[in-house]
Amino acid sequence: MWKEIEAAPADAILGLTEAFKKDKNPGKVNLGVGVFKDDAGTTPILNCIKTAEKKLVETETTKGYLPIPGNPAYGAGVQKLLFGADSEVIRSNRAATLHTPGGTGALRTGADLLKKFKPAAKVWVSTPTWANHKGIFTAAGYEIADYPYYNAETKGVKYDELIETLEGVPAGDVVLMHVCCHNPTGVDLVGEQWDKVVEIAKAKGWTPFLDFAYQGFGDSIEEDRAAVEKFAAAGIDFVVASSFSKNFGLYNERTGAFTIVTPSAEETAVALSHAKLTVRVNYSNPPAHGGLAALTVLADDALYEQWIDEVAGMRDRIKAMRAKLVDGLVARGVEQDFSYIKEQRGMFSFSGLSDDIVEWLKVNKSIYIVKGGRINVAGLTSKNIDYVCDAIAEALK
């Protein structure tokens, strides 16, 4: 049946990694793919996870199926991180959490669930957004609409246009928003800007769909969840797709969560019953290992402290590399102002490098950057930073 069918194009970001692997230049640098790297250029297993896994080897007694929403203790652990341990949402049983295969699994579960009850709803995504957002919601049958977000001139958010667009989103539509460390721009809404968004969501009756893939990569775990707390306090319906891929380094363990919040415990129970049906016909029940490892850390005071330190270590390393990149370009006499890279948050930077420069860096210097200029700042190390700064300075001459 495949004879007449054309091959699909490679995934833009993963395709770049393929090209990187084939490159014979020993000095090559991959700033494309979205995983954290330490200064040695490897994606480490966190020490707290290593310890948790050792414990699991000793104590785990079965590989029997998990319930459809996963282990209830995992859901409770996720909710404490999302809302804070003493949150009213938790006390009132207004939230239900399902353990999903990664943040991607959470996004798809949510997309499928909402589609059942809002078959005509559109989903609104930021311009730009993580490419897979459009893919996931299109696959779930949605029409995609865009809201203005990144302002390439000011390197900030197009706040007024964003607000104007959100005011016009029809009731019942879904609005997908990045809670922190916006991918790909690294530019987030702050404080009162979120208050305004929450106010509009409440007044207009559209459904916020929060994507929370980088908790702890912007600032502390608590600071990064500020927007989630604001939505929770508003007493409205919303959902959250969260991921432990980045902050626990559990990329290949597919460890995420889909959380539904409604105005009442009764509505939440109804929503959960339908979410379980959605999961049952998709992947049936979640993979256990990553969730158990994360839960083991969350449930142990000493491991939790160690985790907080390790997340801070990752965050600080990225911030330090941002500074080295910007200062390195200044030191090489580059006139273009790149100081905004220091202000961006999370793993990514919308570098402002044009597609021509990105191509030149790949062809001439074996430096791999995603088209559009998104840099994974964690791909910079003390070994390659001078090479990258030299190359960019040369390219911009």
Residues designated as active site? 130, 211, 246
Query: Computed over its alpha carbons, how large is the radius of gyration of the chain?
Result: 21
The amino acid at residue 38 is: D
Quick one: which of 183, 207, 268, 278 contacts ligand PMP (CB under 6 A)? 183
Residue 102 touches ligand PMP, criterion: CB under 6 A? yes
Per-residue burial over 209-238, b = 16 or more CB atoms within 10 Å of its CB, e = otherwise = bbbbbbbbbbbebeebbbbbbbbbebebbb
Binding residue for ligand PMP, selected from 112, 211, 253, 310, defined by CB under 6 A: 211
| CA dist., res. 371 & res. 125, Å (int) | 19
Pattern 30-49, binding to ligand PMP, x per CB under 6 A? ----x---------------
C-beta of residue 256 within 8 angstroms of C-beta of residue 241: yes
The single-letter code of the amino acid at 366 is S
Q: Phi/psi class of residue 181: alpha, beta or left (left: φ > 0; alpha: ψ in -120 to 50)?
A: left
Using the rule CB under 6 A, is 350 a contact of ligand PMP? no
Beta carbon nearer to ligand PMP, 102 or 218: 102
Question: What's the CA gap between 212 and 144, in Å, rounded?
Answer: 20
Contact residue for ligand PMP among 245, 247, 268, 384 (CB under 6 A): 245
Among 30, 87, 165, 243, binds ligand PMP (CB under 6 A): 243
Residue 275 or 391 with smaller CB distance to ligand PMP: 275
Closest separation in Å from C-beta 133 to ligand PMP: 7
Output the smallest distance, CB 178 to ligand PMP, in A: 6
* 109 belongs to the binding site for ligand PMP (CB under 6 A): no
- Dihedral in degrees, nearest 10, Cα atoms 296, 298, 302, 305: 140
CB of 243 to ligand PMP, least distance (A): 3
Question: Which is closer to ligand PMP, CB of 248 or CB of 360?
Answer: 248
The letter for the amino acid at 291 is: G
Q: How many residues bind ligand PMP (CB under 6 A)?
A: 12
**377 contributes a contact to ligand PMP by CB under 6 A:** no
Place of tokens 């449930």: 299
| Placement of tokens 């980088």 in the chain | 214
344 binds ligand PMP per the rule CB under 6 A: no
The nearest distance, CB 365 to ligand PMP, in angstroms, is 25
Q: Which stretch binds ligand PMP (CB under 6 A): 90-98, 101-109, 264-272, 360-368?
A: 101-109
Rounded-to-integer distance, Cα 239 and Cα 137, Å:
15
CB burial of 280-319 (b: ≥16 within 10 Å; e: otherwise) equals eeeeebbbbebbbbbbbbbebeebeebbeebbeebbebbe
Binding status of residue 103 toward ligand PMP by CB under 6 A: yes
Binding segment for ligand PMP (CB under 6 A), chosen from 4-12, 100-108, 118-126, 365-373, is 100-108
Burial of 18 (0-12, 13-18, 19+ CB in 10 A): exposed
Residue from 250, 246, 253, 228 nearest 238 by CA: 228
Tokens of 226: 């500020």
- With tokens 């995609």, the residue in question is 144
Nearer to ligand PMP, 131 or 233 (CB): 131
Residue 132 or 330 having the CB closest to ligand PMP: 132
Interaction with ligand PMP in 113-152: which residues (CB under 6 A)?
130
When binding is defined by CB under 6 A, the residue of 29, 213, 227, 275 that contacts ligand PMP is 213
Q: Which residues form the interface with ligand PMP (CB under 6 A)? A: 34, 102-104, 130, 178, 183, 211, 213, 243, 245, 256
